[in-house]
Amino acid sequence: MEFKALIFCFIASILITPLVKKLAVKIGATDKPNNRKVHQKLMPRLGGLAIFLSFVLGMLFFFPDSTYTWPLIIGSAIIIITGVFDDMKEISPKLKLGGELAAAIVVVAGGVQVEFINLPFGGGQLEFGYLSIPITILWIVGITNAINLIDGLDGLAAGVSSIALLTISGMAITMGNTFVVMAGLITLGSTLGFLIYNFYPAKIFMGDTGALFLGFIISVLSLLGFKNITLFSFVIPVIILGVPISDTIFAIVRRYVQKKPFSAPDKSHLHHCLLNLGYSHPETVLMIYAMASLFSLAAVIFSQATMFGSVFVLFILLLLVELVVEITGLVGQNYRPILNFIKDYRTKR
Residues of the chain with pLDDT under 70: 33-40, 118-125, 227-234, 262-266, 349
The per-residue pLDDT for 124 is 64
208-258 pLDDT per residue, tens: 999 999 999 999 998 888 765 555 556 788 888 889 888 888 888 887 777
The per-residue pLDDT for 129 is 81
Cβ atoms 34, 92 nearer than 8 A:
no
The Cα-based distances of 114 to 37, 108, 216, 321 in angstroms read 38, 10, 16, 27
Asked if omega into 201 is within 30° of 0 (cis), the reply is: yes
The per-residue pLDDT for 263 is 64
pTM above 0.85, yes or no: yes
Q: Is 148 annotated as a binding residue?
A: yes
27-33: long-range contacts at Cβ-Cβ below 8 A with a sequence spacing of 24 or more? Answer: 27/88, 28/88, 29/84, 29/87, 29/88, 29/207, 31/205, 31/207
The per-residue pLDDT for 184 is 96
Question: Looking at this protein, which amino acid is placed at residue 315?
Answer: F
**In this structure, is the dihedral angle defined by the CA atoms of residues 258, 263, 266 and 270, taken in order, positive or negative?**
positive
Q: Which domain holds residue 344?
A: 2-348
Q: Is 208 annotated as a binding residue?
A: yes
Task: Say which residues have a Cβ less than 8 Å from residue 135's Cβ, sequence separation at least 6.
Answer: 114, 128
The per-residue pLDDT for 265 is 65
The per-residue pLDDT for 227 is 63
Cβ atoms 82, 96 nearer than 8 A:
yes
Per the DSSP assignment, residues forming a β-bridge with 117 are: 126
270-276: long-range contacts at Cβ-Cβ below 8 A with a sequence spacing of 24 or more? Answer: 270/150, 270/243, 270/324, 270/328, 270/330, 271/150, 271/152, 271/153, 271/156, 272/152, 273/328, 273/329, 273/330, 274/328, 275/38, 276/329
The per-residue pLDDT for 31 is 78
The number of folded domains in the chain is 1
